[in-house]
Amino acid sequence: MNQRHQLGKESEAYAKSWFLQQQGYRFVTSNYRCRWGEIDLIFEQDFPESRKTELVFVEVRARGVGAWVSPLESVDWKKQRRLQKTAVYFMSQYRGPASSMRFDLIFCEGATWGHLPNLWFGGAQ
């Protein structure tokens, strides 16, 4: 396994454990693939006050210090479009309690982690 692939796997494992430690998140699946693309992590998030559940599609990005492109810049409009198509396909098969969806980015730059919730909106809600 090359170093870049190893960094990606470790970053996804960290992101999964981070979401599971947060209040109200339930793990659905990881590395969901279809013909349009792949979604790194998918969770359901409960909002008890409104009795609603939301699907959270998570893109995980890791970059070393001084990388040419930041994690946020690496999720360009083409990647967003692929993620949206993949999410729409997932939703067509989904039979869970969620009534809405959102896209989050969790990223690592060097040793610093960040989470950007609700970064962009999908086409199917």
Enclosing domain of residue 110: 3-120
pLDDT of the chain, 125 residues: tens digit per residue: 677 778 778 889 999 999 999 988 999 999 999 999 999 999 999 999 999 999 999 999 887 666 676 667 778 889 999 999 999 999 999 999 999 999 999 988 777 888 999 987 554 43
Q: Is residue 66 part of a domain?
A: yes
**49 within some domain:** yes
- Confirm whether 22 is domain-assigned: yes
Beta strands across the sheet bearing 100-109:
25-34, 37-47, 52-63, 100-109, 112-120
Are the C-beta atoms of 72 and 116 separated by less than 8 Å?
Answer: yes
Is residue 115 included in any domain, yes or no? Answer: yes
User: Would you state the structure tokens that stand for residue 12, as one six-digit string?
Assistant: 């996804």
Q: Tell me whether residue 109 is in a domain.
A: yes
**Residue 125 domain flag:** no
Q: For position 84, which CATH number holds?
A: 3.40.1350.10
- What is the total count of domains within the chain? 1
| Domain annotation covers residue 81 | yes
pTM for this predicted structure = 0.88
